[in-house]
Amino acid sequence: MPPSLPDFSNSVKLKYVKLGYQYLVNHILTLTLLPIMAAIFVEVLRMGPEEILNLWRSLQFDVVQILCCSFLIIFIATFYFMSKPRSIFLVDYACFKPPLTCRVPFATFMEHSRLILKDKPKSVEFQMRILERSGLGEETCLPPAIHYIPPTPNMEAARGEAELVIFSAMDSLFEKTGLKPKDIDILIVNCSLFSPTPSLSAMVINKYKLRSNTKSFNLSGMGCSAGLISIDLARDLLQVHPNSNAVIVSTEIITPNYYQGNERAMLLPNCLFRMGGAAILLTNRRSERRQAKYRLVHVVRTHKGADDKAYRCVFEEEDKEGNVGISLSKDLMAIAGEALKSNITTIGPLVLPASEQLLFLLTLIGRKIFNPKWKPYIPDFRQAFEHFCIHAGGRAVIDELQKNLQLSAEHVEASRMTLHRFGNTSSSSLWYELSYIEAKGRMKKGDRVWQIAFGSGFKCNSAVWKCNRTIKTAIDGQGPWADCIDRYPVHIPEVVKL
C-alpha cells in the first residue's frame, strides 16, 4: 500500500541519519585531528629536509632547559599514574546450586499452603494468584526447614541453611579460581535478614581458617541491593590496600524470615523469595589481569531514603497477631521508577557515548528555554552496554525496566530466565544472571555489562563491568546453569495454569 512505503523509506533514511550523526559525534576528536595531521604532513613534505634541519638548528636549547622540561614531563607522568585509581578485577565468581531435595514445585507450595492456612482460604487464593503470575518456574528451591508443614524456622535451621549456601559457594569459588583461603585479605558477607552473633563473616573465617589479619565486614539489613554495596565497599578497600584479594559473599537466608501469618501484603515475599547465594573474588593484583573475567568500571549508588514514602515502601514489621513479615507497599513500582531515574541521571554521563549525551543536553536546553512541552529524550542505553542484568525482584520490576529503558526481549532474557529457574534470590540474583549470559556463550571481550539492583530503603545501585576476555562456555561459563541451559530460554506464560 502506498502510504506504508514512504514510511518505510523514511524510517530507513532516519536510521542512516542517526547512524551518521552518532559516528560523527562519537569520533569528533579523530575527525578533527586527522585533517590537522594531514595538513602538517603536507606542509613538511613541501618544506623539504634541508629546511627542516635549518629550523631544528635555529632553536637553541640550553641543557638546563632540556633537563627542566624532561623532569616536568616525568613528574607529570608519575603523578598521573600514581593518582589513577587502581583497576579492580573480578577474577571469577561462583553461584550456589541448590540440591534437588529442596525443590518446590507449584503444586507442592499450594498444597502446603492449604494445609498451613487451612482456616484462611482467601489468603491461600491470594498466594495461588501471585504464584500463577509470578514468572517463577517449577525448579526454584526453599531451604529444608521451610518444607515442613508447618515450617520449623529455628536458629539452628537458619545457621544450617547459611552454612549450606555459603560454604558451597565458597568451595566452588576456591575450585574455580585456585584461590587458597590464606590468600584472602578482605572478606565481605552481605545477608540482609539473618544476622547472628558471631557474624556470618566470622563463620566463614572459622570454617576456612582465614588469617588473623583478614579484614572482615558483615553487612546486614541492606536489602536486595546489598550485593552491589559490597562491591562498592570492596572497591574502596582495594584502593587503599595494594596487592590484595577480596572475597564477597552475597546471599539471603530465608529460613528465619518465612512469614507465618496471613496478612496479604506480607505473604507476597513467601511466594517469590528463594534460596540462593554467590561468592565473588575481586582483586587489584596486576598479575591477575590476564585471567580475570571482568574489570570494574563504575559503581553508582542512589539512596532515596530521605523521602518518607520511599523509606516505608519495603518495611519489616509485625502484623496484628505478632508475626514478623516484610510489608510491600502499593507504590513500590512508582518509587522504583523514581529511584531508577535518579540513578540513570548520575550514570548516564559516565557511560553514554557523546552522541547520546549531546542529544540529551540539547533536548534539556530546549525544554528549559524554548518549549517545556518537548518530550524528554530518553538516552539509548543500548549504545552504552551489550548486556543488562536487572535484579530479578519480580516480573513487574523486569517489565517496568524493560519499558523504561526500551530494552528488547533478549536484553532482559537473563533476568527473566533467572527468575524462572531460581526465583528471587535477592542480592545474588545478579550473579545468576551474569552466569546465564556466560553459559549462553554471549560474553565477548570488550562487552560492557550493567548490573542494576533495587533494595529496601529505597535504594537503586548500579555497577558497570567490562569483559576482560571472551568467556568460553565449555570451560568456565557453566556454573549453576550447567544442566539446564539447553532448555532455556523458555516461554513464560502470563498466567500459569496450576
Q: Which residues are catalytic?
A: 224, 303, 387, 391, 420, 424
Q: Cβ 482 to other proteins, closest distance in Å?
A: 15
What binding mask, one character per residue, do residues 469-498 give for other proteins by CB under 8 A, x or -? ------------------------------
Q: Cβ 155 to other proteins, closest distance in Å?
A: 18
Cβ 141 vs Cβ 254: under 8 Å: no
Residue closer to other proteins by CB (options 104, 266) is 104
What's at 166, amino acid-wise? Answer: I
Q: Cβ 144 to other proteins, closest distance in Å?
A: 8
Cross-sheet strand order for the sheet of 448-455: 215-219, 186-191, 245-252, 276-283, 88-95, 294-303, 459-467, 448-455, 387-390
Q: Cβ 107 to other proteins, closest distance in Å?
A: 4
CA angle 366, 369, 370 (to 5 degrees): 65
Q: Cβ 167 to other proteins, closest distance in Å?
A: 16
Q: Cβ 172 to other proteins, closest distance in Å?
A: 18
CB-based burial, 374-396: b 16+ in 10 Å, e otherwise: eeeeebbbeebbbbbbbbbbbbe
- Per rule CB under 8 A, is residue 112 in the interface with other proteins? yes
Cβ 247 vs Cβ 280: under 8 Å: yes
Residue closer to other proteins by CB (options 121, 305) is 121
CA distance 345 to 330: 25
Residue closer to other proteins by CB (options 106, 450) is 106
Residue closer to other proteins by CB (options 106, 458) is 106
CA distance 460 to 455: 7
Q: Of 25, 27, 87, 103, which one interacts with other proteins (CB under 8 A)?
A: 103
CA atoms within 13 A on the CB side of 472: 3
**The three three-digit cell numbers of residue 247, written as one number:** 572475597
Residue closer to other proteins by CB (options 333, 484) is 484
CB atoms within 10 A of CB 287: 8
Residue closer to other proteins by CB (options 86, 114) is 114
E strand or H helix at 280: strand 276-283
Cβ 265 vs Cβ 328: under 8 Å: yes
Q: Which residues within the stretch 260-319 sit at the binding site for other proteins (CB under 8 A)?
A: none
Q: Which has the closest alpha carbon to 244: 287, 293, 206, 200?
A: 287
Number of residues that bind other proteins (CB under 8 A): 20
CA distance 252 to 161: 10
What's at 396, amino acid-wise? Answer: A
**The three three-digit cell numbers of residue 379, written as one number:** 538516552
What binding mask, one character per residue, do residues 130-169 give for other proteins by CB under 8 A, x or -? -------xxx----x--xxx--x-----------------
Q: Which residues within the stretch 61-100 sit at the binding site for other proteins (CB under 8 A)?
A: 99-100
Where along the sequence are the contacts to other proteins (CB under 8 A)? Answer: 99-101, 103, 105-108, 111-112, 114-115, 137-139, 144, 147-149, 152
